[in-house]
Amino acid sequence: MKLKNVMENKKVDGVLITNKYNLRYFTGFTGTTGIALATAKNRYFFTDFRYVQQANTQVVPNGFEVVKVERNALDGVSEYIKKDKIKKLGIEDKDVTIEYLNSLKKRIENVEFINLEDELIKLRMVKSEEEIEKIKSAIRISDIAFTEIQSKIKEGIKENEVAAELEYVMRKNGASDKSFETIVASGYRSAMPHGVASEKKIGKNEFVKMDFGCYNNGYVSDMTRTVFYGDEPTAKHKEIYYTVLEAQKLAISKVKAGMKASDLDKIARDYITEKGYGENFGHGLGHGIGLEIHEAPTVSTKGDIILEENMLITIEPGIYIEGFGGVRIEDDVVVKKDGCEVLNKSFKDELIVIKG
Amino acid sequence: MKLKNVMENKKVDGVLITNKYNLRYFTGFTGTTGIALATAKNRYFFTDFRYVQQANTQVVPNGFEVVKVERNALDGVSEYIKKDKIKKLGIEDKDVTIEYLNSLKKRIENVEFINLEDELIKLRMVKSEEEIEKIKSAIRISDIAFTEIQSKIKEGIKENEVAAELEYVMRKNGASDKSFETIVASGYRSAMPHGVASEKKIGKNEFVKMDFGCYNNGYVSDMTRTVFYGDEPTAKHKEIYYTVLEAQKLAISKVKAGMKASDLDKIARDYITEKGYGENFGHGLGHGIGLEIHEAPTVSTKGDIILEENMLITIEPGIYIEGFGGVRIEDDVVVKKDGCEVLNKSFKDELIVIKG
């Protein structure tokens, strides 16, 4: 059991899980109000009357016992911390606020707190088959949105309208929400790596960079495509597009388990640098996805994690030229023993020209 | 200056603002990465290269000086804390995580931290004319969505599809996002006060309760309407609807500056109790809205804040009967000296029947 190993390695008697993604991962709970406490022998899940029934269905199969709490859940939590004689308690330092910790400290004495957040998050890096299926569903929905949006990009449409359409198609196809603020950046705005959709109208002979994704069954998708709106892309448009495309395909062809994340980043980065655009690729090659849109591992020059089979990462090189525009192409891939599986099926092999 | 008063009252030499809503409120910054530090004499805004230009436009007019920081903003922040010789620093305990505080403590010595979060949030309760205009715009968009949704509720439509339509109409009419997870709860699910839209199909002769809102210019709207889908509501459907409606109208007719929030709650609650449904109104009458969907003041049995002119609150009584269904009617109102202004214009005075 993963939690047990972390507790033993870190020499804690228990771990308090409050981060909503960790909570969902370890207990299966999909509601909004709950806290989990794992100790050497026991697994408790604290929630109030509104969620007891849901918790019984979701967390019991994962080995957690449901404890119904009254107004302040920490009353219940602290009671069980005492009952199980916990002296060293793992908590999530990036998630727990000062107020929350003070509130807990008021209720218990002589307990030492140890930050375990990074360890817990790392346990989520390698995905199960079931998780991969959920992510594939989310990706299928994004792929549909990309197919449908191409007929909507027309004279005078605003970036915000394109974003609204993408979000609507995803929602109609089963997404519960978008997984992050939709990026639609056209023309000069496409040079901004994170240009969320604005009131700018899409003009003729411009790149339209769309980075979007959705939630489905709690898991996310994340994809980017860049298309050209107008008559005929210039040589420069093509050069940038195909440089990014080749860098992406190269990284995809090389990724496999056992490789260091930063080495994967280097493959795409070296290619882009060789073509003279190294300075224009100002972000990491990718990141893990799962319950969260950005989770471990980081795939950048600083990514020191060794990729393992069934990690799920994005591969998304880009080139951004201020005053001209930019291109990013992003797919989600599952790392395999001798390669990877690309989950997005949306076309990218040629620069799509939407006649305008 | 509001911040100065809080610093003087709480006897701190400075206040560090990290909560994104407080940050926007006090500095005007709409980006995602920034920290503000206000001291007796100075106002600093720390951000990285990506946001310097935006910060210059947005925060300088509000009296903040932009300080460009490198990778970890706390390096810059701590330097200025030392420079201005701050010994007692106000922070936001509900927002600052343990990791963040530890990271700050590593960089500065002999500084005492005082929680000022509640004081800062309370400064946002009374809205300016400009804020009220922004909220009105968001409300107008929600009202349009309610008008348009009525023709979409048809045989076999799922709650999730109704939610998708509401969100789409808001987005198309200028909303940047929904302001919370859209609630569409029909039939037996309408008895759940917070039943977010599900895969349930809307059936004949059911209540359809819709609670939704959007962001526009950073400010939110929040409204609820309950309609009836089918042939003819039963006497029970009507009794519940009109009891909630009368309770809401009564509260609206009585609200004014100088009144305690809990007394306003009591007016609606007493009416509903008198009609025999006191046990079925299990939540507060309302809450403040503004930059956040739930902000001070709380309008419930525990609401101890005295309402002031230009506070913006929701008034949303409800009756929920398990196994039968539920009704909530919610409008956003501006508290005035001798009454209030109801900002929602959507019809509610009769139970709308959508023939199905």
- Contact between B333 and B309 (Cβ < 8 Å): no
Q: Which residues of B touch A161 (CB under 8 A)?
A: 172
| pLDDT band at residue A150 under the 50/70/90 scheme | very high
Asked if A168 and B163 come within 8 Å (Cβ–Cβ), the reply is no
Asked if A163 and B177 come within 8 Å (Cβ–Cβ), the reply is no
The conformation of residue A130, written as its DSSP 8-state character, comes to H
Among B104, B171, B172, the residue to mutate for chain A (most A Cβ within 10 A)? B171
Q: What is the ipTM of this complex?
A: 0.88
CA torsion A295-A300-A306-A309 (nearest 10°) is: 60
Nearest neighbour of A97 by CB, restricted to B93, B102, B167: B93
Residue of B nearest to A102 (CA): B93
Of B208, B225, B251, B252, residue with least CA distance to B350: B225
State whether B77 and B184 are in the same domain: no
Burial (CB count within 10 angstroms: exposed 0-12, middle 13-18, buried 19+), residue B236 = exposed
Rounded Cα gap, residues B300 and B211, in angstroms: 19
State whether A55 and A135 are in the same domain: no
Q: What is the CB neighbour count within 10 angstroms for residue A95?
A: 19
Q: What is the CATH number of the domain that holds B176?
A: 3.90.230.10
Residues A278-325: tens digit of each pLDDT: 999 999 999 999 999 999 999 999 999 999 999 999 999 999 999 999
* B92 three-class SS: coil
Domain boundary among B88, B122, B156: B122
CA distances from B82 to A58, A287, B89, B109, B115 (A): 50, 37, 11, 9, 20
Nearest neighbour of B98 by CB, restricted to A101, A172, A181: A101
Rounded Cα gap, residues A83 and A245, in angstroms: 58
Asked if B97 and A94 come within 8 Å (Cβ–Cβ), the reply is yes
How many angstroms separate the CA of residue B109 from the nearest CA in chain A? 18
State whether B107 and B176 are in the same domain: no
Of A225, A190, A231, residue with least CA distance to A207: A190
Give me the helix-helix angle, A129-149 and A159-172, nearest 10°: 130
How many angstroms separate the CA of residue B303 from the nearest CA in chain A? 16
Asked if A160 and B171 come within 8 Å (Cβ–Cβ), the reply is yes
State whether A134 and A99 are in the same domain: no
Nearest neighbour of B99 by CB, restricted to A94, A99, A168: A94
Q: Are strands A14-17 and A35-39 parallel, antiparallel or unpaired?
A: antiparallel
State whether B186 and B115 are in the same domain: no
Range A96-123 average pLDDT: 95
Cross-strand bridge partners of residue B298: B287
Q: What is the CB neighbour count within 10 angstroms for residue A151?
A: 9
- Contact between B114 and B87 (Cβ < 8 Å): no
* A239 three-class SS: helix
What's the domain range around B95? 2-122
Which residues on chain B place their C-beta less than 8 Å from a C-beta of chain A? 91, 93-99, 101-102, 113, 115, 117, 160-161, 163-164, 167-168, 171-172, 174, 176-177, 181
Q: What is the CATH number of the domain that holds B95?
A: 3.40.350.10
Q: Which residues of A touch B93 (CB under 8 A)?
A: 97-99, 102
How many angstroms separate the CA of residue B253 from the nearest CA in chain A? 32
State whether A185 and A70 are in the same domain: no
The conformation of residue B355, written as its DSSP 8-state character, comes to E
Among B97, B160, B178, B181, the residue to mutate for chain A (most A Cβ within 10 A)? B97
* Concatenated DSSP letters of B14-81: EEEE-SHHHHHHHH---SSS-EEEEESS-EEEEE-TTTHHHHHHHTGGGTPEEEE--S-HHHHHHHHH
Rounded Cα gap, residues A112 and A100, in angstroms: 15
Predicted pLDDT of residue B1? 67
Asked if B115 and A97 come within 8 Å (Cβ–Cβ), the reply is no
Asked if A97 and B96 come within 8 Å (Cβ–Cβ), the reply is yes
In the numeric block, the tokens 């495509």 are attached to A225
State whether A273 and A307 are in the same domain: yes
Asked if B98 and A99 come within 8 Å (Cβ–Cβ), the reply is no
Residues A318-344: tens digit of each pLDDT: 999 999 999 999 999 999 999 999 999
Predicted pLDDT of residue A1? 67
Q: Which residues of B touch A160 (CB under 8 A)?
A: 171, 174, 176
Asked if B177 and A177 come within 8 Å (Cβ–Cβ), the reply is no
Asked if B168 and A163 come within 8 Å (Cβ–Cβ), the reply is no
How many angstroms separate the CA of residue A211 from the nearest CA in chain B? 16
| Lowest mean pLDDT across A35-39, A70-74, B263-267 | A70-74
Helical spans, DSSP H, in chain B: 2-9, 20-27, 52-58, 73-83, 98-105, 117-122, 129-149, 159-172, 235-254, 261-274
Q: Which residues of B touch A177 (CB under 8 A)?
A: 181
Q: Which residues of B touch A113 (CB under 8 A)?
A: 98
Range A24-45 average pLDDT: 95
- Contact between A267 and A251 (Cβ < 8 Å): yes
Asked if A171 and B163 come within 8 Å (Cβ–Cβ), the reply is yes
Residue A31 has pLDDT above 90, yes or no: no
Query: What own/partner pairs with CB < 8 Å and gap ≥ 24 does A45-53 have?
Result: A46/A73, A46/A76, A46/A77, A46/A80, A47/A73, A48/A73
The conformation of residue A280, written as its DSSP 8-state character, comes to G
SS3 content of chain A, % helix, strand, coil (to 5): 35, 25, 40
Asked if A93 and B115 come within 8 Å (Cβ–Cβ), the reply is no
* B189 three-class SS: helix
Nearest neighbour of B168 by CB, restricted to A98, A164, A181: A164
Residues A123-137: tens digit of each pLDDT: 999 999 999 999 999
Asked if A97 and B99 come within 8 Å (Cβ–Cβ), the reply is no
- Contact between A217 and A134 (Cβ < 8 Å): yes
For residue A30 the two structure tokens come to 């999909």
* pLDDT by residue, tens only, chain B of 356 residues: 689 999 999 999 999 999 999 999 999 999 889 999 999 899 999 999 888 989 999 999 999 999 999 878 999 999 999 999 999 999 999 999 999 999 999 999 999 999 998 999 999 999 999 999 999 999 999 999 999 999 999 989 999 999 999 999 999 999 999 999 999 999 999 999 988 999 999 999 999 999 999 999 999 999 999 999 999 999 999 999 999 999 999 999 999 999 999 999 999 999 999 999 999 999 999 999 999 999 999 999 999 999 999 999 999 999 999 999 999 999 999 999 999 999 999 999 999 999 98
Q: Is the dihedral of CA A223, A224, A229, A233 positive or negative?
A: negative
State whether B40 and B160 are in the same domain: no
Which residues on chain A place their C-beta less than 8 Å from a C-beta of chain B? 91, 93-99, 101-102, 113, 115, 117, 160-161, 163-164, 167-168, 171-172, 174, 176-177, 181
State whether A276 and A206 are in the same domain: yes
Interface A-B, measured as beta-carbon pairs within 8 A, has a size of 62
Of B269, B272, B255, B277, residue with least CA distance to B340: B255
Asked if B94 and A91 come within 8 Å (Cβ–Cβ), the reply is no
Domain boundary among A100, A122, A144: A122
State whether A216 and A334 are in the same domain: yes
Domain boundary among B122, B144, B171: B122
Q: Which residues of B touch A171 (CB under 8 A)?
A: 160, 163-164, 167-168
- Contact between B304 and B260 (Cβ < 8 Å): yes
Predicted pLDDT of residue A32? 84
Asked if A96 and B97 come within 8 Å (Cβ–Cβ), the reply is yes
State whether A109 and A183 are in the same domain: no
How many angstroms separate the CA of residue B57 from the nearest CA in chain A? 18
Q: Which residues of B touch A176 (CB under 8 A)?
A: 160
Of A324, A342, A343, residue with least CA distance to A241: A324
* Concatenated DSSP letters of A167-214: HHHHHHTT-SEESSPPEEEEGGGGGSTT-B--SPBPPTTEEEEEEE-E
**How many domains does chain A divide into?**
2
Give me the helix-helix angle, B98-105 and B73-83, nearest 10°: 50
Asked if A93 and B98 come within 8 Å (Cβ–Cβ), the reply is yes
Q: Any residues with CB less than 8 A from the CB of A76 and at least 6 apart, and which? A: A46, A67, A68, A69, A70
- Contact between A200 and A159 (Cβ < 8 Å): yes
- Contact between A333 and A342 (Cβ < 8 Å): yes
State whether B108 and B157 are in the same domain: no
Asked if B101 and A98 come within 8 Å (Cβ–Cβ), the reply is yes
